[in-house]
Structures are given as C-alpha cells and as structure tokens.
Structure 1
Amino acid sequence: MKVIVTGCNGLVGSALVRQCIANPAISHVFALTRKPLPEAVTNSPKATVIEHDDFSAYPPELLARLAGAEGCLWAIGGRAPQFPDVETARKVHVEYTQAAAKAFLGHLVPQLPEGKQFRFVFCSGALAEWDQQKPLYFMADTRRIKGETERGLCEIADGDATKRFAVYCARPSGILPADAGVARKLSGRLFNAIGVDQLAKAMVRILLEGYKERIIENSELQKL
C-alpha cells in the first residue's frame, strides 16, 4: 500500500513516517511536509518527501505526485493553546483537514483499482466534542475544534456515493514521546497516556485493516 503522511516534523507524524517505512505492508510513503525532513527519511527508498506550503490547496501537479496512494495518516494539529489564536487552530484543523479529504476523494479515489477503499486516519484527541454549543469546562476550544474536524470528515465520507472513502478518528488522551523520562511517564498515568510509537502502530494498523468503529478511543488504541 502507498500512503500519505502529514505532520511529518511533529511528534506523531514523525513516528508515523518511521512506522510506515518499517512496515513491510506499506510499499511507499509520500511524506507531505512544509519543512525538510531528516536524512533517515529522505534517503529511504520507500519515501518520497514532498514539500508543500499551503495545506488548504491541492493543485493538480501535487495530486499527480500522490497518484496511487490508498490512504492518509493525518497528524497536523495540536491543542488550541499551541496556536496564536483559536481561529488559527480552527483553520489548521478544520479547513486544512477537510480540504485534503475532499481533494483525495475527488482525485485519488477514482484512480484506485475496483474494490479498493481509501482510508483517511485522523489523529484527533480524547473528549473531542461534536456539539459546538455544549458547555465545556476544560480544554473547551481544543475539544470543540477536534470534534468539528471529526464531524466534517465523517460528513465527507457519508456524502461519497461510492462508499470508497473511509474515515477513522483516533482519540489519544495524551501522548508520551519515545524518550519520556520516569517523571513524565508517571504523570502520564494520570490520564492514561499512550506512547507515541504505540499510537503510530495503532494508526498504521487502522490504515491497513480498517476498524469496526469510526471513532477509536484511547483504550482501544492501546490494544491495537
């Protein structure tokens, strides 16, 4: 399988690229990135690094380079306070993610062999909330934005008459880097954090095999 990975310089995205390169079921990785990637990626015969500045637009020449991809691991995003303001966070999550999903549905799905399905796996977050009017008392902006992104992706998939575009939303409750120290690991237990490599392996497995539900909670990710 050929796959697209985004957020390749981030904690989750970089782990996804590593897992894809190491997985024999994945034949090629299109690493879609704004910034240069490490030599371990650029030198891999399984990876094509594509630098792309505007993740709200997918021109024909870019889509041509992604031809043959059967899935996408989307790891662009984060918590709302990590962005300059809430509107920027919403733009990055909602606008960028949905623009990609629509472009892949419109241009990559029709190129797939008969019977093949394109799987779009979005790295969301625990307690993501679809109801934008519901009162929330902690992490409200982050949860609403993640929920709005999930809902939009699912609506795009539901609108596909061919049913060949599938969406999955992974909801880690917290993510521990591979080099997390003892103190961080202990604090991570308070919210049942998942290791980044474990999360990446779970998302790759969902990409390859699909899953019984669209929304995959943290407890299920830890079992994959």
Structure 2
Amino acid sequence: MKLVVSGATGFTATEVIRQSLSNPRITSVLALARRPVTVPENLPPGADTSKLKSVVVEDFGKYFDDAKKQLEGTDACIWTLAVTPSKSRSLPWDEVLKTCHDYTMEGLKAIFETRGSGKATPLRFLYMSGVAAERDQTKTPKFMAQYTLMRGETENQVVAFAAAHPGQVEVTVAKPGLILQPGNIRHWLSSWILWLLASLPSVGVVGISAAMLEQVINGFEKDPLMNDDLVRIGQKVLSEGKS
C-alpha cells in the first residue's frame, strides 16, 4: 500500500509515519509538508526507513508536476494538516479557512486525479477533524462557532466528494478529542481539566495513529470515527501487536 500523510511534520502525523515504517502492509509512505520530513525517532524493530519519501509542498493549494508525479498510484491518505483551535485564535480567519478547508479539498482532488485508473480498490481518504466539529450548519455551537462549523462543513464536503465518485473513493472522518503524548504530564493534566470542565474526551497519540492506520489498511468501519471508536480500535491493534 502506498500511503500519503499530510501535515507530516506535525505531532500526530509523525507518530503515524513512525508506525507505518514498521508495518509490512505499507510499502511506501509519502510525507507531505512545507519542509523536509526526517525519519522519526524511536523506531520499532523491523522499521524500514527506505519506505519514507519526503515531498515538500510550499503551497498546499497548488500541486506542481513533481508533486503530482509523486502522488501517482496512491492507495490511501491520512490527512492531518489543519490549524488547531488554540492556534486559530492568533491567525487571520482567511488563513485558517484556507489551511483547514481549502487545502483539504485541493489535496483530496489532487490525490484522486493523479492516482491513475489501474487501481483495483478505491482511494481511502481519512480526514482528521475534531470531536467538536459540527456538520449541521443550521446550529450555533457554544464554543468557537465559526471554527467548529467550518471544520464540520469540511467534513461534509469530504463525504460529498466520495458520494460523487462511488466505487472510486471511500472516506471517513476521525473526530478525536485531546490527543495525548505518552509521558507528557502537562498533556494528561490538561486532559483531566478539560474533561472536568467540558467533558472533552482524550486519546493517546500512539492509539489514534494505530487506529487510523488500521482503518486505511483494512477498510473503514464507519463514518465518523468518534473518540471512543478511535480508542477502541487503537487498543485492539496495539494489544495484538500490529502497530
């Protein structure tokens, strides 16, 4: 399987790549980022670093010939590129919208259009959103309404793209809560406070990465994949030693 990972220098994407390099079902990992992607640290035994290909994309709204050439034959994509809720407060809205929405849709279209017609299976596209993203555009969320509605509308359009290409594209949306790093006391403390104040769930970065990889490899269980689903799937994969 040829896997594309966007936002590849990010926290979760780095763990996805780390696990991918030791998964025998994945033969190639294409890491898309604005700067070169290096091999992650603490690789598990059996990791094959030769599978990693770093592709620098200076503008995720435009895919030039070299990038398109690299995308040919893609089997699956885990799209993590986005602006987090906390960072969105300090950026102009048009930049947040472009990064979270426009780049997602342009990336999906580019991967679909360049993958070629010889594939026996559909393109599997997993979009990582967030638990608070609201697909129902008639609602007014209490927390960061503009942002959460925008993320929900991006989910809607990703799903609609697959519906417009039946048998050619399969999508699901991962909707985690707070993503935790092992051994990071600050993360775990934040998780406890957010759960206490807002009932915000959490998932470990190792678990969500294992869950997303399992889904793109074996097929999507459902849409969306909520935080509980990601925890459950990730725990099962890790307990079976598949990551």
Listed as ranges, the matches of 1:18-33 within 5 Å are 18-33=18-33
Change (3 A) 1:109 1:141: farther
Structure 1 match to 2:35: 35
SS in 2 for 1:122: strand
| Deviation at residue 61 of structure 1 after TM alignment | 2.9
Letter of the 2:50 partner, please give it: P
Q: Are the aligned partners of 1:12 and 1:200 in contact in 2 as well (CA < 8 Å)?
A: yes
Return 50-59 or 79-88, whichever deviates more: 79-88
**2:54 pairs with 1:49:** yes
Between the two structures, name the one with larger relative contact order (CA 8 Å, sep ≥ 6): 1
**2:115 pairs with 1:129:** no
Q: 1:167 aligns with which of 168, 171, 188?
A: 171
Change (3 A) 1:87 1:80: farther
| RMSD of Structure 2 on Structure 1 (CA) | 1.8
Q: Which stretches in structure 2 are left out of the alignment for 5+ residues?
A: 42-47, 234-243
Listed as ranges, the matches of 1:24-173 within 5 Å are 24-40=24-40, 44-83=49-88, 84-112=91-119, 115-161=120-166, 163-173=167-177
The alignment-based identity, stated in percent, is 27
Partners of 2:157 and 2:81 lie apart in 1 by 16
Q: Which stretches in structure 1 are left out of the alignment for 5+ residues?
A: none
Structure 1 match to 2:44: none
| Deviation at residue 117 of structure 1 after TM alignment | 1.4
TM-score, with structure 2 as normaliser: 0.84
| Deviation at residue 196 of structure 1 after TM alignment | 0.8
Change (3 A) 1:173 1:109: farther
| Deviation at residue 88 of structure 1 after TM alignment | 1.4
Letter of the 2:179 partner, please give it: I
Structure 1 match to 2:202: 193
Structure 2 match to 1:178: 182
Q: Are the aligned partners of 1:3 and 1:71 in contact in 2 as well (CA < 8 Å)?
A: yes
C-alpha distance after superposition, 1:24-44 (max 9, x if no partner): 211110111111223448x92
Q: Are the aligned partners of 1:80 and 1:141 in contact in 2 as well (CA < 8 Å)?
A: no
C-alpha distance after superposition, 1:39-87 (max 9, x if no partner): 448x921111111101111233322122222011111013244131222
**2:225 pairs with 1:223:** no
Partners of 1:118 and 1:8 lie apart in 2 by 19
Partners of 1:61 and 1:201 lie apart in 2 by 30
